[in-house]
A and B are shown apart, each in its own frame.
Chain A
Amino acid sequence: KRPPVIAPADDVEGTINISGAFALYPITVKWASEFKKLHPKVVFNISAGGAGKGITDALSGLVDIGLASRDIDPSEVKKGAYTVYVTKDAVVPTFNTGNPDAAQLLEKGVKRDQFLNIFVNGTIKSWNQLAGKVAAPIHIYTRSDAAGAGETWAKYFGKKQEDLLGVGVYGDPGLAQAVKKDPAGIGYNNLAYLYDLKTRKQVAGVHALPIDVNGNGKIDANENFYSTIDDLTAAIADGRYPSPPARNLGFLFKGKPKKKELVEFVKYVLSDGQKFVEENGYIALSKAKIQEELKKVQ
């Protein structure tokens, strides 16, 4: 058993109110409970409700931190939105493992332009336009709700979520499920939905559709990092996986945070807090990025 932590003369106290994106809610709860162990006098009130709601709450002064999982609109910046990024996640294109051309697809990968023509322009309609011979039509699935994942995937092409084609399915699991059930399906998912967090391997039925980053028509060794979640997060962290479709998740303040407990909390999250990130399916920020973000609160 650990000896009880002797609290240093602790002058960090107060109440921190947080609300916002579902995507950040669980890890924030984790951070808060860990932070409370160090500074027992701090009280947290955390509530989920959507990024827009968090941003509205934060900008109207109802909460201290809005959890933001999407791009900040210029109109929000005008109102004083001030974002500090705290972690990352990524969106990965997916397809069904039962796809008749699966082997060739894994070997050749898909180029960014090809994705663009599938998801946005709709000019690629059949799987054999990518690889293989079977002229099965591509069934595109997309997110029906305004979501970080959809937005990030669209941003890969410089577009908005509303530009994506396909049948809208509600929620990440719904989208994963839809692709899992349809051999001709294609979709995209936050990586946490593609990997089993216990075995760290890809879940059965769906598979990441590898991106041919350098466009040479085949998946090279340095493009092949999809077998475990750890390989993939490493690739995202060092930039081998393009960003977007990786994205930063942030805390949004109204103006630069001043209150001591807020600053301490952000500092904690950007230092010790990062060690809880990966086990929960998020991706740690790179060292450089952490330094950059820390500067924002100093």
Chain B
Amino acid sequence: MTKTPHISVQHLNVHIGNQHILNDININIPDKKVTSIIGPSGCGKTTLLRSFNRLLDNTPGVSITGKVLVDGEDIYDPKAEVTHIRKKMGLLSQRPYPLPMSIYDNVAYGPRIHGIRKKQELDQLVEEQLKATGLWNEVKDRLNASATRLSIGQQQRLCLARGLAVSPEIILGDESTSALDPVSTSIIEDLFISLKEKYSIVLVTHILRQARRVSDYIVFVYGGKIIEFGPTEDVLLNPKEELTREYVKGYIS
């Protein structure tokens, strides 16, 4: 927390319909670290994560107040360019959702949208990102096959490669391993750890053990509020708040 924060959330409130989902959130997500968001089901973890890249905007009936500064710029400023903000952040969802096209096109999709048309340049990018996620050797002979042919674990890595191809600064993951078997899970976890050299990473997870394995910082959310935020070991092993202690007990038992 010595560096300047990468994402700084200030007095964020989110309502959906007349429900108050997030309640006065204030947090600074550190740069080039892994931060995990934990909390019971329905506490607002996903909502918080989605507020970072303005995906919340598409939710029916949502109203958002407060600020989210990314690199010092308020993304909820009406003048802010939403596609630009989103390009900065790669999203990895719970289950992999490959786009309905070939493996190659999945990775090339983002760069193409942002104007890269040259075949050579694209080829290079695709290869680079598939290598970064360890997929290259597994798929290099069938780049034109449909992405849905891959196993779930491979699909999830493909989605990560796809996100990395638009050179984001931040990676957001929402329970990105919960559909995977242990082998695939540990590959993804290792990837997260290796990627934090270049990216800031925010993960939502239910598995406290995973949070411990991969993250530097932990945010505990409960009932739409941030209860505790601090370095991993502190929050998991030595929580300050009663609520946190209660929650992480399940992890210790």
A–B contact via C-beta, under 8 angstroms: no
Interface residues of A (CB under 8 A from B): none
Interface residues of B (CB under 8 A from A): none
